[in-house]
Amino acid sequence: MTTATDKDRVLIFDTTLRDGEQSPGATMTHDEKLEIAELLDDMGVDIIEAGFPIASEGDFRAVSEIAERSKNSTICGLARANFKDIDRCAEAVRKSARPRIHTFIGTSPLHRAIPNLSMDEMAEKIHDTVTHARNLVDNVQWSPMDATRTEWDYLCRVIEIAIKAGATTINIPDTVGYTAPVESADLIKRLIETVPGADDVIFATHCHNDLGMATANALAAVAGGARQIECTINGLGERAGNTALEEVVMALKVRNDIMPFHTGIDTQKIMHISRRVSTVSGFVVQPNKAIVGKNAFAHESGIHQDGMLKNKETFEIMRPEDVGLSGTSLPLGKHSGRAALRDKLAQLGYEIGDNQLKDLFVRFKELADRKKEVFDDDIVALMRVGEGGEDDALQLVSMKVTCGTGGPAEATVEMEVDGQDITATSEGDGPVDATFKAIRKIHESTARLQLYQVHAVTAGTDAQATVTVRLEEEGNIATGESANTDTVVASAKAYIHALNRLIVRRGKVGEGVDAREISYKDVH
């Protein structure tokens, strides 16, 4: 399927909204999915796997709306190997200018045992379902789930069947992150050489990171002949995650001398979408994460700093600007105006409306009054976490906390609950524990705290603390985040933010089958 002019082009298939969202606690709201899809479309992602339409009415609506809104990307939905899934998927992507159905079935011995199908029965099912999908759309992707643990002869057999039935892309998933780079390259190479019709389709690779080799395996597969990489922003995904989009894209760009391939990704937009995905998913990017980690372009060692001062290339193989990162401090203060703030936001990759700027400007001024220096990362934190919406059922009005060595901490919290001011006081094992208990007195909830995480946005005793809180209630998971120079205030706001999201989700019960209830959902 590749031609002389595009044989070195690697397609980027982003599955942040599908495989990435399967991470426990990473569930996104409808509006958040639309926002991330727009950012992916704008940065040049070739194919966006927007969701699993059969999973729920909410997932179907998100895929459908993304398909209608997308300007450049192919929009893909996932479907298991049955007509009902495929029909629902086709309906969801039909408004896309470039719709794709991605259907799959587990082909390894372990996965064949789940539906209790013989090899012949599964082969027939693959033929029938791929044929059905191809009758609905021209662009069909097929995946033999757990391909890397499937018998070689059977893998070749079912791939040939899928190609003859009309699949245009064959994806080879390393579903459990089991393979190694040398195996990944060899598997793709042998399949292309062996399977009849392989020259007429695109081979793709989908790697998980259970052994920390997802990026290496994906790049090795490209060397073996794959021309589509399935990946996610920040490597988000089940268990240890998926291949990270930013890693494979920048690896191909920086080491083009030994990997002579290219993508259509605007790399200067990587940092912005990385931060946004981190915010909406509630998964903080580890500081030493490649490309997008806070320390990726930081140099503390004296030898490193000396080298950087003399020649940046001594210790940097790419420029921070290449991924959209600004390393300068923000030359704004409490006397700065809206125009200056808007200009700096544009430099950081944010285009916002007048109303949003008005809200942000107020919070910026408050921060500038509390901090000696305001850095780019401080502004990014304000954009990331925002403040609660005016329509939220729960609003923090005020709080006072006392703590020390003389006894238990005590917190008095005043909140507005559906327009009514309520105050409660509680003791606890530390200021945060006391605050959370006071909030629970005001708003009774069975939600269980799954995660409480604090990290400093910048250095200094006046640094903002960004707090992430994840709550679980009856299977619903919600994440709240807030930033403040007062860690306890940030904690309270993050906790209330998560509670508000749970209230919203509780109100949406009955929209459809929740994705987590779908059997056989641990796809790829």
- 25 in Cβ contact with 282 (< 8 Å): yes
Do the annotations mark residue 206 as ligand-binding?
A: yes
**Cα distances (angstroms) measured from residue 170 to each of 14, 38, 194, 294:** 16, 26, 14, 36
List, edge to edge, every strand of the sheet that includes 409-417.
Answer: 394-402, 409-417, 420-428
- Between strands 99-106 and 74-80, the pairing is parallel
Residue 109 dihedral angles phi and psi, to the nearest 5°? -55, -40
Give the separation between CA 261 and CA 228, rounded to whole angstroms.
11
Nearest to 491 by CA among 472, 464, 459: 464
The amino acid that residue 37 corresponds to is A
Q: Which residues pair with 169 in a beta bridge?
A: 141, 202
- For residue 520, give every residue at least 6 positions away whose Cβ sits within 8 Å of its Cβ, in sequence order, or none: 80, 106, 114, 115
Residue 204 dihedral angles phi and psi, to the nearest 5°? -120, 160
Residues in the chain: 524
- For residue 118, give every residue at least 6 positions away whose Cβ sits within 8 Å of its Cβ, in sequence order, or none: 112
- 61 in Cβ contact with 77 (< 8 Å): no
Question: How many Cβ atoms are within 10 Å of 300's Cβ, its own excluded?
Answer: 7
Q: Which residue has the tokens 């990726």?
A: 296
3-state helix, strand, coil in the chain (%, to 5): 45, 20, 35
Do the annotations mark residue 392 as ligand-binding?
A: no
Do the annotations mark residue 209 as ligand-binding?
A: no
The answer to whether the Cα torsion of 360, 362, 364, 367 is positive or negative is negative
Question: DSSP class of residue 119?
Answer: H
Tokens standing for 85?
């899934």
Residue 112's SS3 state is helix
Question: DSSP class of residue 485?
Answer: S
Question: DSSP class of residue 46?
Answer: S
Nearest to 423 by CA among 411, 434, 432: 411
Give the separation between CA 271 and CA 293, rounded to whole angstroms.
9
Residue 425's SS3 state is strand
The amino acid that residue 341 corresponds to is L
Do the annotations mark residue 208 as ligand-binding?
A: yes
Question: Known binding site for Mn(2+): residues?
Answer: 19, 206, 208, 242
